Amino acid sequence: MLGFGRKDWDDAAYARQMREACDRFSEEPSTDSEWTSFGRRLAYVRGDFLDAQAYRSLAQRLPDLDRRWRTEGNRMFFLATLPSLYAGIAERLGAAGLVNRDTEGPFTRLMIEKPFGHDLTSAQTLNDALHRVFREEQIFRIDHYLGKETVQNLLVLRFANSVFETLWNRRHIDQVQITASETFGVENRGAYYEESGVLRDMVQNHLLQLLALIAMEPPLSFQADDVRDHKVEVLRALRPLSGKDALDNVVLGQYGPSADGVMPGYRQEPGVAPDSVTPTYAALRVFVDNWRWQGVPFYLRTGKRLARGCVEVMIQFKAVPHCLFGDAQACERIEPNRLVICLQPGESIQFHFGAKTPGTVLSVDPVRMHFGFRETHPDGTLSPYQRLVLGALRDDASLFARADGVEAAWRFVTPILEAFETSPPDDFPDYAAGSEGPLEAELLLRRDRQAWRPLSD
């Protein structure tokens, strides 16, 4: 592994920094012997990201490392840099002869992290710039949500179990709720977050990716492009929300200080303007206009500094058409079946159904079947980044965002951003840190005579 950056380090200093970082951040600190074996494979080249000469130094150093590590000219560039530098770095890598575009010979791959642009136009510009140097198949765009074990489990649940697929459509599903609720605030990322806000930070990528996995058609195979083709179809089928439709179907919010004054409001966070109108919460009412999903609302919500930290997908099936058990009151207690997929924490899948209450009166109680991922697999699993880096090394792009998918997501989100830029909310902050979020988000569902389902425990 070779580090490339502006710090004035040599190989040894770089290796020391890496060891410190590993000891600090990894779940299992490495032993001295593990580190000796790994540390000697670390090298460093100093250079400015936009200086063409630095890339020539990099190019001179690599053949020697290829010989030592028997890497045969195969390269994967991971840009842990400001996203504004992606295009410039790709161009310079190409100009220095460091990119093999051919399918023959040693491979060259590029890994980058979101944000991939900040709206549709900038995403297209970035994709064009990357494609001038790399083929699309060489680019691995990380959405770390896709590396989560339980996110992959969504696909297994759907396509390895025939019982669900039969019910997975508008005839049987009443609504879908997708929640990514966080208890922490923007911490020390205020400056980044001011530019991004919740729609760019969470909705354009993570939430829409979850929606696409839930709503996609069965792919022909698990090959990257078969999966991604179907995910993109879902994103393209999202009913557009612009102007008044966006304002009517999307609620944005921003946290203020907690009721007890202990947690600061967003506007008090470092790097945030005291009159900022950047949203930290979003709730959306979304429709997928295709045969399978016509008329089924997908309610999405995500926010920072909320009461619960939880990522969850709730599929609610239609209610029984006619109640046989008891009077009107007893019938109201019969809840529709729900499949609740908790992605974190405590990954689990639960099926909620009605069972008879013990006793002489025939009435129904809500009960649930529970599958706990950790209980079944106590040894744990790979972290999202371990899974993604391995995926890219193995040339498996199924867990990475493709250019057309990124653009389709921006095509949906950009008009929403524009609608709120034209009519910025004037009631921020509108929810207290540590609360359930803005009241408006409740009202959005109440219009459909629905409510957010309580998150599972």
Burial letters for 307-326: b for 16+ Cβ neighbours within 10 Å, e otherwise? eeebbbbbbbbeeeeeeebb
Least distance between ligand BG6 and beta carbon 205 (Å): 7
Select 203 or 216, whichever has its Cβ closest to ligand BG6: 203
Give 138's DSSP letter. G
Please tell me whether residue 306 adopts helix, strand or coil conformation. Answer: strand
- The first and second tokens of residue 201, run together, are 């930070």
Least distance between ligand BG6 and beta carbon 201 (Å): 5
Name residue 340's amino acid.
Answer: V
Select 144 or 172, whichever has its Cβ closest to ligand BG6: 144
Q: DSSP labels for 311-341?
A: EEEEEEEPPPSS--SSSHHHHHT-PPPEEEE
Centroid of chain to Cα 170: 25
71-100 residues in contact with ligand BG6 (CB under 6 A) are none
Centroid of chain to Cα 137: 21
Which among 102, 101, 71, 89 is positioned nearest to 2, based on CA atoms? 71
For tokens 């970035």, name the residue.
Answer: 126
**CB under 8 Å to 371, separation ≥6 — which residues?**
348, 349, 350
**Per rule CB under 6 A, count of chain residues that contact ligand BG6:** 3
Q: In 10 A of CB 414, how many CB atoms?
A: 23
- The first and second tokens of residue 369, run together, are 């079947």
Out of 172, 206, 352, 377, pick the active-site residue. 206
- The first and second tokens of residue 384, run together, are 């999202």
For residue 388, what are the CA distances in angstroms to 71, 130, 211, 213, 406? 20, 20, 20, 17, 17
Select 83 or 366, whichever has its Cβ closest to ligand BG6: 83
Q: Which of 182, 269, 312, 430 binds ligand BG6 (CB under 6 A)?
A: 182
Does 201 help bind ligand BG6 (rule: CB under 6 A)?
A: yes
Whether omega before 115 lies within 30 degrees of 0, making that bond cis, reads: yes
Q: In the chain, count of helices (H) and strands (E)? A: 16, 16
Q: DSSP labels for 48-109?
A: -TT-HHHHHHHHHHHHHHHHHHT-TT-EEEE--S-GGGHHHHHHHHHHTT----SSSSS-EE
Could you give the string, one character per residue 139-158, with x where binding to ligand BG6 holds by CB under 6 A and - elsewhere? Answer: -----x--------------
Does 269 help bind ligand BG6 (rule: CB under 6 A)?
A: no
Select 230 or 308, whichever has its Cβ closest to ligand BG6: 308
Which among 266, 285, 283, 264 is positioned nearest to 274, based on CA atoms? 266
Least distance between ligand BG6 and beta carbon 310 (Å): 10
**CB under 8 Å to 221, separation ≥6 — which residues?**
none
| Bridge partner residues of 300 (DSSP) | 178, 284
Is 131 a known active-site residue? no
Q: DSSP labels for 239-258?
A: PP--HHHHHHHEEEE-EE--
The footprint of ligand BG6 (CB under 6 A) covers: 144, 182, 201
Active site amino acids = 206
